[in-house]
Every structure is written in C-alpha cells, then in structure tokens.
Structure 1
Amino acid sequence: MYSKDEASQLKQAFWTTFGQYISPQLSAEGLKVNWVNYKTGIKYLYFRMEANKRSASIAIEIAHPDPGIQELFFEQFLELKNLLHGTLNEDWEWQLHEMTEDGKIVSRIVRKLHNVSIFNKNDWPALISFFKPRIIALDEFWSDAKYAFDALK
C-alpha cells in the first residue's frame, strides 16, 4: 500500500513517462499537441485517459452541467458512431448520463482495460500500448468530426 504522496508521485511519474514517449507524435493535422491534456476546443468536452490500481480507461467525456445539452452532444456523437468506430477499429461503450464518484452527471464513450495498475511499473508498457493508439485515433477522428459540433459550442 502506498501513502497518498507516494501514490501521487507514481501517477505523476507514469503520466510524465507517457507524455515523453508520445510527444514526438504529431497530431492528425501535423501539429505538436499535449496528448496527456488533449484540448478538444469545446468547453465541457474532454478526451480523458485515466488509470488506477485496477484498470485504465480512455474516454470521450461530455461534462456539460445541463443534461439536455449533454444529450445533444451525445446524439451528435451517435450520428458519427460509424466514423468513430471505424477510426478506432473497435467498438467502445456508450454511457448516457452516468454519475461520477464526485456526484456529477456526465456522458461518456469509453474503452477500458482491466487487470492493470498504474502503481505497478511492470504494467506501464501495457498502459502505454493501450493509451497511445487510442488517443492518436481519437485525434484523427476529431480532426474530421469537430466541425459537426460547431453549432453546439
């Protein structure tokens, strides 16, 4: 078991390592990008990569405080589902209006990896192999799809 400080340091070390590993990769538009803190350019719309002691996930997260607007974003993603899954080369789980641990309602399109731990450095290659192709594919998808969300900005 790690102290809160040790756990925080290990998490920070992983994300720093991942960031250094992926930093040479340019975006689909040929630009330098901060992959760990990917900016979609739309408020309340995030590409989230998370890892904990049991699993990892990568998600498109819609966190708008108005559930109706959240649903509009979600429906727009449903319109682009074939493009998204075609770019990702896999199906993801679609979750409309889920409660987070801190009590917020969000909607997600998510892919999970189980039985890995950010606290086990032996799992880091598996985590990197999980996150890297998916965040790059999300960026490729977003370079084409973002214009479909202009009316929702």
Structure 2
Amino acid sequence: MFSREESKQIREQFWIFFGKRYPRKWLLYDTKVKEINLKFSFDNQKAMVSFDIETRDEIFREFYFDKFISLKNLLKAEISDDIILEKDYLRSSGKIISRIYITKYEVNIHNKKHWPEVFEFFNNTMPKFELFWYEYQDIITA
C-alpha cells in the first residue's frame, strides 16, 4: 500500500512521463462546449478515454447524450466496437454524468510496469476520439 502522498507522487510521475513521451497538445477540455470534455483517466484498476457530458441541467445532458447515441454506429466504426455509451454513469465522487468511453482493464497506475501499455493505449485511442469530435462536433452541438 502507498500513503496518500506516495500515491499522489506516482500519479504525478505518470502524467509527467506521459507528457514527455507524447509531447503534444491534446484536445481535452478545449471542445468549445463547456458541458463536454474529452478525458484521460488512470487509477488502480483501469485506464479510460472518454467523452464526459457534465452539467447539472438534465435536459442538456440528455440532449448531448442523445446526439452521441444517434452517432453510435459511427462511434463504433471510427473509434472501436468496444465503446460504451452510458447515460447515467456514477463517478466515484457520487456525481452522475453521461460518459462515452473505452476502458483498458487490469492496469494499475501504481505499477510502473503497466505504464508503457497505458501510454500506448492513450496514444492510440485519444486521437480517434479527437478526430471523431472534430468530424462530428457540428452534429453533436446543433
């Protein structure tokens, strides 16, 4: 087990190393739609790339999620058959969001032997999400 401080340092190291290995500007929060973010996440059990639809307004969240649902076949064709669209995703914080995501299981941020595998997963998956956003953002936000 790691102390809270040790865990924090390991997480920081991971993101620093990832940034050095793949030094580019990722889209992430710069979707120009405050309710939709593109995210990387990595914890003790999994790594994930996702579109997160976060808003307190249920109507907006459902509106944007329905747009992604209408593009489901394209999401599967252009990103992966393994993509999951979850309208009511419960975050560890207790907040409910909508999430469109791909997960890599059986990896742990505290195990540095898993890092190259996750680096590769992020580097292969995130560009597909970004390209999808650039291609279909007008449909998603219309």
What is the TM-score of this pair, normalised by structure 1?
Answer: 0.85
Tell me which of 101, 114, 119 is aligned to 2:110.
119
Q: Which residue of 2 is the match for residue 46 of structure 1?
A: 37
2:82, 2:53 → 1: CA distance?
18
Give the deviation of 1:150 after TM superposition: 3.6
Give the deviation of 1:142 after TM superposition: 1.0
Question: Does structure 1 residue 8 correspond to structure 2 residue 8?
Answer: yes
Give the deviation of 1:38 after TM superposition: 4.6
1:123-138 matches, cutoff 5 A: 123-138=114-129
Give the deviation of 1:126 after TM superposition: 0.8
User: 2:50·2:99 contact (CA, 8 Å) conserved in 1?
Assistant: yes
1:103, 1:121 → 2: CA distance?
29
User: 1:64·1:106 contact (CA, 8 Å) conserved in 2?
Assistant: yes
Give the deviation of 1:91 after TM superposition: 2.9
Q: Secondary structure at the match of 2:5?
A: helix
Aligned AA (1:68): I
Question: Does structure 1 residue 98 correspond to structure 2 residue 97?
Answer: no
Give the deviation of 1:86 after TM superposition: 1.8
- Paired residues, number: 142
Identity %: 28
Give the deviation of 1:118 after TM superposition: 0.7
Q: Which residue of 1 is the match for residue 49 of structure 2?
A: 58
Aligned AA (2:89): E
What is the TM-score of this pair, normalised by structure 2?
Answer: 0.91
